[in-house]
Amino acid sequence: MAGKKKGAVIKTDAAPERKQRGRVDRSVMFPIPPPAGEVPMDYAAWLADLKTRIHQERLRVVLAGNAVMVLLYWDIGRSILDKQANQGWGSHVIDRLAADLREAFPEMKGFSPRNLKYMRAFATAWPNRQIVQASLAQLTWYHHIALLEKLDSPESRLWYAAKTLEHGWSRNILAFQIETHAHRRHGKAQTNFPATLPPPDSDLAVQVFKDPYLFDFLGTDAPRREAELEQGLVAHIQKFLLELGQGFAFVGRQVHLEVGDEDFYLDLLFYHLKLRRYVVIELKARKFQPGDGAQLGMYMTAVDRLLCHPDDKPTLGLLLVREKNRVLVEYALSGNTKPISVAEWDTRLTHALPEELQASLPTIEQIEAELARVPTPAGAERKKQAAKKGARALTEPRRKQ
């Protein structure tokens, strides 16, 4: 076709040749990195150094945000204490405050009555704000709740807080250390806080990146959860299709597509050996939006033009979304001539797959059954709470009737 160079690479005066999948159409290409054997000898050491630096700086930024949130929680708790002590406000004011803060910040879950009471207890346990700012602000709020619930003395709390930062304990490990009286096994209480950040690969570092209180406070919790869910779904569908054994060949995940100076990434790209066509799968951890069909259509066009062999059939697109409005989907895709299917996770497709594909492709019921097996963050939390209740029921003595 005009405007295409088979097997060519993009060249500029300032840049070396770049590698790509298939062909190049003007400034549109599927770029791929060069093989490891073509990089300089010291590249591996340089890469390792950069990765360490990135891990450390990401942790530093997240801990700085965590410190701001912890100090704000202390300030709120201190303010509640002052109002109740100096002006005689009763405990019912916490319920009123929680309702008003939820109305002002509906996207934030950290202002529940229960958590406001934790803030008050936090300020009571640490009357000196300087101690919190200098030593305790790097701990997640979950760690502070464990210290408040399981320990009574400030000395013991400081010891466990210092050890948590030194060893990078997760909240569960901290609770275990408290329950097994670790401070007694290690002699006198030590409250020297480490001057450096916790190890980037420690449980504490991993946990702070997933702390819902922090990301809720920063306003980034929903995008983070959406990204995590999408990644989990992509991995699950990839495994599911390959295990079907019906002709699917895995081409790539997060396949890089470069259009001019803009970058895009295809969630999953397969090639069906029997049908001789590519299959592009996009997953959205949210409801269907009109632009989703256009984006998937662009990906399919790029695959058709740059990757397909002349004997290949047109690429098939499958869009999986959390929710869809049937009328919106029909209007959004009514003018689209490409074979695009849109499925919810718990309903049938609005646009059925072409008949000739149904024998080889998994049924929508199969896909939906697989998606139903992927635990959502909320579902995982419910299972966790149910397990805790079951454990308590087994260990607590029965009451006499």
In the chain, where are the structural domains located? Answer: 65-191+198-219, 224-378
Q: What is the pLDDT of residue 70?
A: 93
Output Rg (C-alpha) for the chain, integer angstroms: 27
| Rounded Cα gap, residues 31 and 258, in angstroms | 7
**C-beta of residue 26 within 8 angstroms of C-beta of residue 32:** no
> What pLDDT is attached to residue 286?
73
User: Which range is least confidently modeled, 244-248, 281-285, 339-343, 387-391?
Assistant: 387-391
Grade residue 386 by pLDDT with cuts at 50, 70 and 90: very low
Token pair of 381, please? 């939390």
Considering the chain, what percentage of its residues have pLDDT values greater than 90?
Answer: 19
Higher pLDDT, 98 or 319: 98
Chain segment 143-181, per-residue pLDDT in tens: 999 999 999 988 899 999 988 888 888 888 898 889 888
Interval 302-342: pLDDT, tens: 999 999 999 998 898 888 776 667 777 776 777 667 777 77
- Indicate the pTM of the whole model: 0.56
**Whole-number Å distance between alpha carbons of 169 and 175:** 9
Higher pLDDT, 38 or 125: 125
Cα torsion 212, 213, 216, 220 to 10°: value is -60
Please give the pLDDT value at position 400. 39
Inter-CA distances, 335 with 264, 287, 294, 338, 362, Å: 23, 21, 10, 9, 26
pLDDT of 167: 83
Is pLDDT at 139 greater than 80 in this prediction? yes
Q: Please name the residue that has the structure tokens 């397909």.
A: 308
Residue 18: what pLDDT? 80
Q: Are residues 271 and 249 in contact, defined by beta-carbon separation less than 8 angstroms?
A: yes
- pLDDT interval class at 392 (50, 70, 90): very low
What are the phi and psi torsion angles at 359 (to 5°)?
-70, -30
pLDDT of residue 295: 87
Question: What is the strand order of the sheet 28-32 is part of?
Answer: 4-5, 19-25, 28-32, 248-259, 262-272, 277-287, 316-323, 340-343
**Distance separating alpha carbons of residues 131 and 143, to the nearest angstrom:** 16
CATH code for the structural domain at 224-378: 3.40.1350.10
User: 301, 255 in Cβ contact below 8 A?
Assistant: no
What is the pLDDT at residue 219?
Answer: 61
Least trusted range by pLDDT, from 15-24, 145-154, 250-259, 323-332: 323-332
Supply 279's token pair. Answer: 């299959």
More confident residue, 368 or 146: 146
346 DSSP 8-state letter: S
pLDDT in tens, 37-66: 888 889 989 999 999 898 888 888 888 888
Please state which of the ranges 7-11, 93-97, 173-177, 372-376 shows the lowest mean pLDDT.
Answer: 7-11
Q: What is the mean pLDDT of the chain?
A: 75
Burial class of residue 120 (count of CB atoms within 10 Å of its CB; 0-12, 13-18, 19+): buried
pLDDT at 63: 84
- Nearest Cα neighbor of 123 from 62, 91, 80 is 80
- Quote the pLDDT of residue 224: 55
Give the pair of three-digit tokens for residue 282: 């996009």
Beta pairing, strands 28-32 & 248-259:
antiparallel
Residue 212 tokens read as: 């819902």
Pairwise pLDDT comparison (251 vs 290), residue with the higher score: 251
Given this model, what pLDDT does residue 150 score?
A: 93
Query: pLDDT band for position 211 (50/70/90)?
Result: low
